[in-house]
């Protein structure tokens, strides 16, 4: 068999279930490590080796613009403002998944990118890079092995979106959240924060709204 025939067999036989669960977001997901563990027996069976590499790249120029826009906040039922930043240099993690045939030295590669956020609540610089690396690696593997992540955490986890407001949640919001019986550990993981005091007003409003809908 050539490398493409071997890849086809691996794609058909690979089963990588979503063994991870976030109780706050109510979604199951698979990690990069889950894919590695699932594919290892198939690599040995088909006499192949998998290698994943990371590379830091910079896209964009030094031009950076910042402006304040006004919008209507449906949760607060009033106008609010947010700071929008456009342009500028951004750091990306480029992950490359390489499937190599041990019998004839043929190989197939697939790449994926993940952008590093400038800041993310509850994370230092190394954690931000690590999270971006895991994201890019997983999607490089998804593309190589035809893994569908349509219902993965990335389509439901609003915590990965760029924070549009730095205003912290009010004391009243935090006290009300305490009465909702929420799994605080899962909630912090969902939003990428250390504890509830780091919630923004927008995130707190989202939690209260979602919890209210779940009881309707």
Q: Please check whether residue 77 is in contact with residue 128, taking contact to mean a CB–CB distance below 8 angstroms.
A: no
Q: Which of 161, 183, 199 is the last residue of a domain?
A: 161
Model confidence pLDDT, tens digit, residues 202-211: 888 888 887 6
Does the reported pTM lie above 0.75? no
Residues 151 and 171 in one domain: no
Model confidence pLDDT, tens digit, residues 7-64: 999 999 999 888 887 766 677 888 889 999 999 999 999 999 999 999 988 876 666 6
Residues 141 and 52 in one domain: yes
Residues 101 and 208 in one domain: no
Q: Please check whether residue 94 is in contact with residue 59, taking contact to mean a CB–CB distance below 8 angstroms.
A: no
What is the secondary structure of 36-81 as a DSSP string?
HHHHHHHHHHTTEEEEEEEEEEEES-S-EEEEEEEEEETTTTEEEE
Instruction: Check pLDDT > 80 for residue 123.
Output: no
Confidence of residue 75 (pLDDT cuts 50, 70, 90): low
Residues 52 and 76 in one domain: yes
Residues 45 and 141 in one domain: yes
Residues 115 and 172 in one domain: no
- A 10 A CB-CB count for 101 gives 20
Residue 61: predicted pLDDT: 62
SS3 182: coil
φ/ψ of residue 73, rounded to 5: -85, 110
Residues 156 and 171 in one domain: no
- A 10 A CB-CB count for 118 gives 11
Q: Which of 161, 178, 196 is the last residue of a domain?
A: 161
SS3 63: coil
Range of the domain at 76: 3-161
Q: Please check whether residue 93 is in contact with residue 129, taking contact to mean a CB–CB distance below 8 angstroms.
A: yes
Mean pLDDT value across the chain = 79
Residues 108 and 126 in one domain: yes
Residues 200 and 110 in one domain: no
Residue 157: predicted pLDDT: 47
CA gap 82, 44 in Å, rounded: 52
CA gap 159, 210 in Å, rounded: 14
Q: Domain total for the chain? A: 2
| Span of 38-47, 162-171, 173-182 with lowest mean pLDDT | 162-171
Residues 110 and 89 in one domain: yes
Instruction: Check pLDDT > 50 for residue 85.
Output: yes
Residue 206: predicted pLDDT: 82
Q: Which of 161, 189, 205 is the last residue of a domain?
A: 161
SS3 93: strand
Residues 128 and 207 in one domain: no
Residue 199: predicted pLDDT: 84
Residues 8 and 85 in one domain: yes
Helix axes 201-214, 171-178, angle to 10 degrees: 30
Instruction: Check pLDDT > 90 for residue 74.
Output: no
């Amino acid at each position: 068999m050539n490398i493409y025939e071997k890849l086809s067999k691996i794609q058909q036989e690979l089963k990588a279930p979503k063994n991870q669960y976030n109780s706050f977001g109510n979604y199951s997901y698979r990690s990069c490590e889950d894919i590695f563990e699932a594919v290892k027996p198939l690599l040995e069976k088909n006499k192949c080796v998998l290698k994943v590499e990371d590379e830091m790249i910079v896209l964009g120029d030094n031009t950076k613009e910042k402006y304040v826009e006004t919008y209507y906040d449906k949760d607060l039922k009033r106008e609010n403002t947010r700071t929008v930043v456009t342009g500028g240099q951004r750091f990306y993690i480029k992950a490359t998944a390489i499937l190599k045939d041990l019998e004839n030295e043929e190989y197939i590669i697939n790449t994926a990118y993940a952008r590093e956020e400038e800041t993310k609540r509850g994370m230092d610089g190394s954690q931000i890079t690590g999270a971006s690396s895991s994201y890019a690696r997983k999607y490089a593997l998804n593309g190589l092995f035809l893994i569908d992540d349509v219902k993965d955490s990335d389509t439901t986890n609003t915590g990965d979106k760029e924070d549009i407001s730095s205003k912290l949640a009010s004391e009243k919001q935090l006290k009300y959240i305490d009465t909702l019986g929420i799994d605080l550990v899962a909630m912090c993981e969902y939003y990428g924060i250390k504890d509830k005091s780091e919630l923004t007003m927008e995130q707190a409003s989202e939690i209260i709204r979602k919890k209210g809908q779940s009881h309707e």
